[in-house]
């Protein structure tokens, strides 16, 4: 049978088969980051200006929260393997809702703010692997990229809209904002309570046994994902200070909106082509896109900021989706555990970027030209990925057997 063309009718046909529970899950994939990003992007301002924390303390708190939110995904995947996808998502949303209640209470008792923030990040860590696994449960390999990219598009749309909605109210009316976000999460949690458990899930859970968190990890996609996030987070962490100095905070927001829009529009349309692309070629295309974008940022003017952001986003569209697809193909573990392992790699990469990138940016700024930071980051995109060749096809990193349907939670 001939493959469907990328995007266009093929994409619409794939998404047109979504059941009502999956449509609700995609809606939730928009509403959850919408609510979260009405609050979380402004936490540094809230903690510092509203609650009076020093900037050094704020930095430590946010670093710890980011590490929990990313790397804690491996615990979320393991929990889903033990108790099921629906129950894991439900408990994760209960935890996250409690975190937003804690932020509301922190307006009266500020010490609660740190614990509440960490609680919301724990909920995010538990939720995302189960969400992705539920979305692709029982879906054949050809349609998985379309489903995953649709979820990513919904996620990015929520992340883009949230700050725009909440910006005027974060400092002026944070209480009402936290109440609104908490109410949104209560409604989403109630909806998840009505989701059906995936067919065959109980049998699959029983068959999994108790394996280690990193057992069966697909090593090459794991390391490639960590490296991709390490390089991408040079852009994520440090573009704000670089762009605001050379343009304005409003123009920085415009760059971010462009990046979100590209993910929302391009990734679903390109998902079929990314699936068919050989893994080595996808890595080359993705890392070259990151390298080109980071190098362009060194120019430092407004067109360069837009062009650099666009190139970096196109690179990560290929890398992030292909790494997840390849990890699913190679690992014998359940989908939720695979997504959790990939989140762990992302957390390690993002954390390393925060620590090492901060030193590099400070050194470049001290030398009088922060543009050198972007050139050094671009050079890493060219120098580090070839080392991945050393990890290609180890004996324990074998593809899943096609057509094996034992345990519906484990593989389609």
CATH number, domain containing residue 216:
1.20.1250.20
**350/381 same-domain check:** yes
Rounded to the nearest 10 degrees, what angle do helices 249-276 and 144-166 cross at? Answer: 170
**106/223 same-domain check:** no
pLDDT band for position 5 (cuts 50, 70, 90): very low
**393/246 same-domain check:** yes
DSSP classification of residue 247: S
Q: Tell me, what's the pLDDT at 16?
A: 61
- Long-range contacts of 19-25, Cβ-Cβ distance < 8 Å, separation of 24 or more: 21/195, 21/196, 22/134, 22/135, 22/147, 24/191, 24/195, 25/131, 25/134, 25/135, 25/151, 25/195
Is 11 within a domain? no
pLDDT band for position 398 (cuts 50, 70, 90): very low
Cα 253 from Cα 163, distance rounded (Å): 10
**181/307 same-domain check:** no
Q: With the C-alpha atoms ordered 111, 117, 120, 126, is the resulting torsion angle positive or negative?
A: negative
Q: Tell me, what's the pLDDT at 101?
A: 94
Specify whether the CB–CB gap between 151 and 135 falls below 8 A: yes
pLDDT score of 408 more than 50: no
Cα 393 from Cα 38, distance rounded (Å): 43
Cβ neighbourhood burial of 350 (10 Å; 0-12, 13-18, 19+): buried
pLDDT band for position 395 (cuts 50, 70, 90): very low
Cα 78 from Cα 88, distance rounded (Å): 10
pLDDT score of 189 more than 90: yes
**191/293 same-domain check:** no
pLDDT score of 10 more than 70: no
CA-wise closest residue to 265 among 107, 93, 150: 150
CA-wise closest residue to 126 among 156, 184, 157, 82: 82
Q: What is the mean pLDDT of the chain?
A: 83
pLDDT score of 209 more than 60: no
Domain boundary pick from 163, 198, 233: 198
Q: Tell me, what's the pLDDT at 306?
A: 95
Which range marks the domain in which residue 244 is found?
212-398+407-412
Residues of the chain above pLDDT 70, percent: 84
**340/230 same-domain check:** yes
Cα 187 from Cα 164, distance rounded (Å): 22
**Highest-scoring range by mean pLDDT, 253-267, 299-313, 335-349:** 299-313
Say whether pTM exceeds 0.85. no
pLDDT band for position 9 (cuts 50, 70, 90): very low
The arithmetic mean of pLDDT across residues 131-156, rounded, is 86
Structure tokens, 262: 């590209």
Cα 350 from Cα 348, distance rounded (Å): 6
Is 205 within a domain? no
Specify whether the CB–CB gap between 49 and 315 falls below 8 A: no
- Please write the tens of the pLDDT for every residue from 255-282: 888 998 999 899 889 999 999 999 999 9
Q: Which has the higher per-residue pLDDT, 220 or 367?
A: 220
The arithmetic mean of pLDDT across residues 375-383, rounded, is 95
Is 377 within a domain? yes
Domain boundary pick from 174, 198, 222: 198
Specify whether the CB–CB gap between 297 and 305 falls below 8 A: yes
pLDDT band for position 166 (cuts 50, 70, 90): confident
Q: Tell me, what's the pLDDT at 243?
A: 85
Specify whether the CB–CB gap between 371 and 251 falls below 8 A: no
Cα 245 from Cα 243, distance rounded (Å): 5
Q: Which has the higher per-residue pLDDT, 114 or 253?
A: 114
Is 203 within a domain? no
Q: Tell me, what's the pLDDT at 410?
A: 34
**Following DSSP, what letter does each residue of 147-163 receive, concatenated?**
HHHHHHHHHHHHHHHHH
Specify whether the CB–CB gap between 360 and 230 falls below 8 A: no
The alpha carbon of residue 235 and the mean position of all alpha carbons in its chain are separated, in whole angstroms, by 15
Q: Tell me, what's the pLDDT at 13?
A: 56
Specify whether the CB–CB gap between 317 and 266 falls below 8 A: yes
Task: Give how far Cα 222 sits from Cα of 212, 218, 307, 337, Å.
Answer: 16, 6, 29, 12
DSSP classification of residue 401: P
């Amino acid at each position: 049978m001939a493959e469907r063309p990328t995007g266009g009718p093929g994409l619409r046909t794939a998404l047109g088969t979504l059941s009502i529970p999956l449509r609700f899950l995609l809606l939730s994939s928009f509403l959850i980051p919408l609510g979260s990003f009405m609050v979380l992007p402004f936490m540094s301002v809230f903690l510092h200006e509203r609650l009076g924390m020093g900037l050094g303390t704020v930095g430590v708190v946010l670093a710890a929260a980011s590490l929990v939110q990313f790397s804690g995904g491996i615990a979320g995947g393991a929990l889903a393997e033990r108790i099921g996808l629906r129950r894991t998502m439900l408990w994760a949303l209960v935890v996250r809702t409690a975190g937003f209640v804690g932020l509301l209470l922190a307006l009266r008792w500020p010490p609660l703010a740190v614990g509440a923030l960490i609680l919301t990040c724990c909920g995010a860590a538990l939720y995302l692997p189960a969400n992705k696994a539920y979305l692709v449960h029982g879906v054949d390999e050809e349609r998985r990229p379309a489903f995953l990219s649709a979820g990513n598009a919904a996620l990015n749309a929520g992340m883009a809209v949230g700050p725009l909605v909440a910006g005027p109210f974060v400092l002026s009316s944070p209480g009402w904002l936290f109440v609104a976000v908490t109410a949104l999460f209560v409604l989403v949690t109630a909806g998840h309570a009505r989701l059906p458990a995936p067919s065959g899930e109980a049998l699959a859970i029983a068959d999994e046994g108790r394996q280690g968190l990193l057992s069966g990890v697909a090593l090459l996609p794991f390391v490639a994902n960590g490296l991709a996030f390490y390089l991408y987070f040079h852009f994520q962490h440090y573009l704000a200070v670089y762009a605001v100095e050379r343009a304005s905070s409003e123009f920085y927001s415009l760059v971010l909106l462009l990046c979100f829009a590209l993910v929302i529009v391009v990734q679903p349309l390109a998902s079929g082509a990314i699936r068919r692309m050989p893994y080595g070629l996808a890595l080359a295309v993705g890392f070259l896109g990151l390298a080109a974008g980071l190098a362009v940022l060194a120019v430092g003017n407004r067109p360069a900021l837009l062009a650099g952001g666009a190139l970096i986003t196109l690179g990560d569209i290929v890398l992030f989706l292909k790494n997840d697809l390849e990890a699913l193909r190679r690992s014998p573990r359940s989908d939720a555990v695979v997504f959790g392992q990939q989140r762990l790699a992302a957390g390690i990469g993002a954390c390393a970027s925060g620590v090492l990138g901060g030193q590099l940016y400070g050194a470049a700024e001290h030398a009088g030209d922060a543009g050198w930071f972007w050139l050094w980051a671009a050079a890493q995109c060219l120098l580090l990925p070839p080392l991945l060749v050393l990890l290609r096809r180890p004996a324990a990193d074998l593809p899943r057997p096609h057509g094996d349907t034992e345990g519906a939670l484990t593989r389609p």
